[in-house]
Amino acid sequence: MSRARIAALLALAAVSLHLRSPAAAKAGLRPIALGFSDDLFTSANPQVRATWLNHAVALGSQVVRLDAGWPASRRPQDPTSPSDPAYSFTQLDAAVRDATAAGISPLLSFTGAPTWAEGPGRPAGASPASWLPQPAAVGAYGEALATRYDGQYPDPLHPGASLPRVKWFQLWNEPNLTLYLSPQWQRVKRRWVAVGPVHYRAMLNAFYAGVKAAQPGASVVTAGTAPFGDFGHGQRMMPLLFWRYVLAAPVSFDAIAHQPYAFGSPTTHALNADDIAIPDIGKLTKLVRRAERRGTALPHIHHSIWVTETGYNTKPPNPGGVPVATDARWVEQELYLFWKQGVSLVTWYLIRDSPPAPTYGDSSQTGMYYLSGRAKPAALAFRFPVVAVRGGGRTSVWLRAPGSGVIKVEARQRGAWRVVARRRVKPLEVVEVGAPSQDRDFRAVLGKLTSLSWHLA
Amino acid sequence: MTKTSPYQHRHIGARAIVRAFLAACVLVCVVAPIASGKTRYLTPPGDSAISQYTEVVPAGGGSTPVGQIPSTPLGTLPPAAARALRGSGTARSSLSKFVGATAPRVSHASSGSSTPAVGGSSTLGSLLHSVGGSGGGMGVVLPLILVACLLAAATVIWRRRVRS
């Protein structure tokens, strides 16, 4: 072997060793977009919208999930035209204008069909707006939405200007619950038929066609499924079973969504095989990849995995919630677990706690801010998540940078914080750096902002 | 005119009982799937907003919300083993919960707890609860059907005896 070859091999070995060493930082990691899902962003009060959009920006949000509703109390003459007088988009226009002006991408989501768009044979006991929404009507409304927010549609309030473009459209909410889509099951000739997912597939295909007809470059997002279902043929279908039925035949979408609420820590797996808790997103990914290979998940792309709602009620104020310090840790851990499982976008449910109306049990206190507007510890956790992980004899610190500059990762050594790694970061960049294995407490500092500290058990 | 043998009454009575029993079986076969097909899940008290996100597991008495599983699975794992499982990480803790969730329920009355049994604190309530259970299935309907069948059979026998 020539000297040159030996030198080249030694250089290659040195590079390999450097890449494997704990101190080496992983550059260019997959990003994760964060944001919120909250009715405050579609409030009729412009001051409320502005306040909470500012907070969302301050917490590093890139997206807000806006409830577009289906604002047509009567059947439109031309349901594909957003200018049909049966539609009323005034409030949504304002929300989209404000979000876009704040530099945040809106994700337009809607659930619930007007009475005229529900299917035939609706029983009196069915949940409002849930009964077999007509796929044709869903598709036409998707086209109307995507047309109105294609970036060229005239802004009715500002002559000569256009409404902003929206590129993400989501169909429905938790369609594995009869609360939102009914029926889930129907008995036909002594056999139980999974009506909900099969009907949702028809709705999704129609919606996809409608949105893409108006905006071929827009992305269609499936509804986020609720995390847990029941045994038998009840009112909640287990999410994996639901998606298995949906993906059994050709169906078109760009991203699949899930909404993994949890009562325990983010690392707690679902007990049932067909339920999907926070660390079980892999079950959904596996199913989607299999459908891609089989050709039923269309188009032929690598479909994204999104989380469009999640959160923990906190105590205070909710007597049944988790302590705010625990909540903060779980927020960081949850974001890390989502990222690790390949989730590319998360919209946290609520930026600010809901009022306890009529009771705490009927409302959600999953916000980053109390109802008073004061920040919870989770706000910092969301803005600057830092998680230390240990595995394979190595310790590493994962974080999402809240801004640009040189980030310092610190470890507590003999009672004092000492810098163990430095790294130049871009805003919202995801970084993972090696850390000394003997240390247990870590945090990160960017300029004057210090993250919460993470204790490795 | 032939005199009816007393044994004939017994024969008719036995036939009536068999018919009543068969009718009860048919009724059970028809009603049971309907009753068990109905999903039964409980929700955390006063927390309707989160009831849609409650996790349920199959238990001896039907589907049971995870939050309502006793933290100490009575009569399934020795307390020391349960403590050890809970103390050895999340997965083990889930296993411990799962064992508890799938174990047969231990009635409050027999465990000496001061908590009143589900279904009422009266003697009749306790009896109905212990006969019918608290989970899925037909509950107290099945024993009521059987009692009704017995009464019907007894009435048929009595009326035939009176007539003869």
Q: How confident is the model at residue B145 (pLDDT cuts 50, 70, 90)?
A: confident
Taking the Cβ of residue B114 and every Cβ of chain A, the question of whether any pair is shorter than 8 Å is answered with no
The CA distance from A423 to A398, in Å, is: 12
Mutate to test the interface with B, among A191, A192, A230 (most CBs of B within 10 A): A230
Closest CA–CA distance from residue A397 to any residue of chain B (Å): 21
Residue A29: pLDDT over 50: yes
State pLDDT tens for residues A264-296: 999 999 999 999 999 999 999 999 999 999 999
Mean pLDDT of B141-154: 87
The CA distance from A169 to A146, in Å, is: 8
More confident residue, B162 or A223: A223
How many other CB atoms are there within 10 angstroms of residue A149's CB atom? 29
Mean pLDDT of A356-360: 92
Name the percent of chain A lying above pLDDT 90. Answer: 92
Do B38 and A234 count as a contact with CB atoms less than 8 A apart? yes
pLDDT of residue A3: 57
Do B97 and A271 count as a contact with CB atoms less than 8 A apart? yes
What pTM did the predictor assign?
0.76
Closest CA–CA distance from residue B59 to any residue of chain A (Å): 11
Q: Residue A283 corresponds to which amino acid?
A: K
Cβ-based contacts under 8 A for chains A and B: 73
CB-side neighbour CA atoms (13 Å) of A329: 14
Instruction: Provide ipTM, 2 decimals.
Output: 0.82
Q: How confident is the model at residue B49 (pLDDT cuts 50, 70, 90)?
A: very low
Instruction: Please state the φ and ψ torsions of residue A102, each to the nearest 5 degrees.
Output: -80, 0
Length of chain A, please? Answer: 457
- Which string of b and e fits B42-77 if b means at least 16 CB within 10 Å? bbbeebebbbbbbbbbbbeebbbbbbebeeebbebb
Cβ-proximal residues to A164 (8 Å cutoff; 6+ apart), any chain? A96, A97, A100, A101, A106, A149, A151
Minimum CA–CA partner of B41 in chain A:
A230
Q: Which residues of B touch A226 (CB under 8 A)?
A: 52-53
| Separation of first and last alpha carbons in chain A | 50
Residue B38: pLDDT over 60: no
Do B55 and A270 count as a contact with CB atoms less than 8 A apart? yes
Residue A98: both structure tokens together: 């404000």
Residue B55: pLDDT over 80: yes
Mean pLDDT of A172-180: 97
CA angle A372, A378, A380 (to 5 degrees): 100
Q: Which of B37, B47, B54 sits opposite A233 (nearest CB)?
A: B37
Mean pLDDT is lowest, of A52-66, A146-160, B83-97, for B83-97
Minimum CA–CA partner of A364 in chain B:
B49
Name the percent of chain A lying above pLDDT 70. Answer: 94
Omega prior to A317 cis, within 30 of 0: yes
State pLDDT tens for residues A402-454: 999 999 999 999 999 999 999 999 999 999 999 999 999 999 999 999 999 99
Q: How confident is the model at residue B67 (pLDDT cuts 50, 70, 90)?
A: low
The CA distance from A139 to A205, in Å, is: 8
Minimum CA–CA partner of B63 in chain A:
A231
Closest CA–CA distance from residue A144 to any residue of chain B (Å): 31
Q: What is the mean pLDDT of chain A?
A: 94
Mean pLDDT is lowest, of B5-9, B40-44, B76-80, for B40-44
Q: How confident is the model at residue A361 (pLDDT cuts 50, 70, 90)?
A: confident
Taking the Cβ of residue B65 and every Cβ of chain A, the question of whether any pair is shorter than 8 Å is answered with no
How many other CB atoms are there within 10 angstroms of residue A450's CB atom? 16
Mean pLDDT of A305-316: 97
Residue A456: pLDDT over 90: yes
Residue B125: pLDDT over 90: no
Residue B25: pLDDT over 60: yes
pLDDT of residue B95: 61
CB-side neighbour CA atoms (13 Å) of A211: 26
pLDDT of residue B60: 72
Can you spell out the DSSP letters for A34-47?
EEEE-GGGG-S-HH
Length of chain B, please? Answer: 164
Mean pLDDT of B125-145: 59
Residue A201: pLDDT over 60: yes
Q: Provide the 8-state DSSP code for B43.
A: -
pLDDT of residue A12: 46
Taking the Cβ of residue B33 and every Cβ of chain A, the question of whether any pair is shorter than 8 Å is answered with no
CB B53 within 8 A of CB A227: yes
Name the percent of chain B lying above pLDDT 70. Answer: 27
